[in-house]
Structure 1
């Protein structure tokens, strides 16, 4: 499998699928994260991503170890309001897209260039526009 190249420096954001695949030691995701780190990129997730990715079968020691190597971006009042504005701006509803909006909001305020590993390319294109490079996983 050919590895995808990421930009120099900046930030790599994982959505819930990215975190889930990292927890499962997915070869492609592990390789992309290793490459990002070798290029000086910081790897981040939204705090809400943890909620979305974790389930009853999650290996808690593995989760804790993986999270210790990521920067977890909190979602407070200001971030929630900005995420809501993103949703309203593209005509999406928070009931279905709340966590995607929080992930997009977190990505948009990171050190550029920003790359996101995501399974929701269509939704993230709407929320992030061309300000975040999206890599499908």
Structure 2
């Protein structure tokens, strides 16, 4: 039997905490991401996630290396409008949930199945419903 070539078999999305854990070389996050890649999943983050996860003590070299292995999805006018619409649909306010909404929009537009590593399971459930499998980190 011929072995099936692994191609893009879904997407793993990292939210701010997922990226932070990867930056800090958290063993469980690194293992989850390695498993996703082994399964042929693409690992993706929203560009706004970089802003949310970085702080004064972030190792810039480590950040650059980690980001080089991820697909960083830009947030433009189309994504901003979709995130605003998602906030209106869910009754959430942009002041508190703007970045979460942008991350959710990016996740919802990826090749399925989509899995998200997040520390905000409750909020992301409101924004993504059952269309994204959420894994708490």
User: Structure 2 length normalisation: TM-score?
Assistant: 0.94
Q: Which structure 2 residues correspond to residues 1-137 of structure 1 after superposition, within 5 A? A: 9-137=9-137
Q: Secondary structure at the match of 2:57?
A: coil
Instruction: Write the distance in 1 (CA, Å) between the matches of 2:94 and 2:48.
Output: 14
> Highest CA radius of gyration, 1 or 2?
2
Q: In structure 2, what is the Cα distance between the partners aligned to 1:22 and 1:9?
A: 21
Q: Distance in 2 between matches of 1:121 and 1:31?
A: 20
Give the distance between the partners of 1:53 and 1:37, measured in 2 at CA. Answer: 22
Unaligned runs of 5+ in 2: 1-7
Partner Cα separation in structure 1 for residue 81 and residue 94 of structure 2: 11
Structure 1 stretches of 4+ with a deviation exceeding 4 A read none
Q: What's the RMSD between the two structures over aligned residues? A: 0.8
Alpha-carbon displacement from aligned partner over 1:15-45 (angstroms, at most 9, x marks no partner)? 0000000000000000000000000000000
TM-score, length of structure 1 as denominator length? 0.94
Shift of 1:9: 1.9
CA distance in 1, matches of 2:75, 2:48: 7
| Structure 1 unaligned residues grouped into runs of 5+ | 1-7
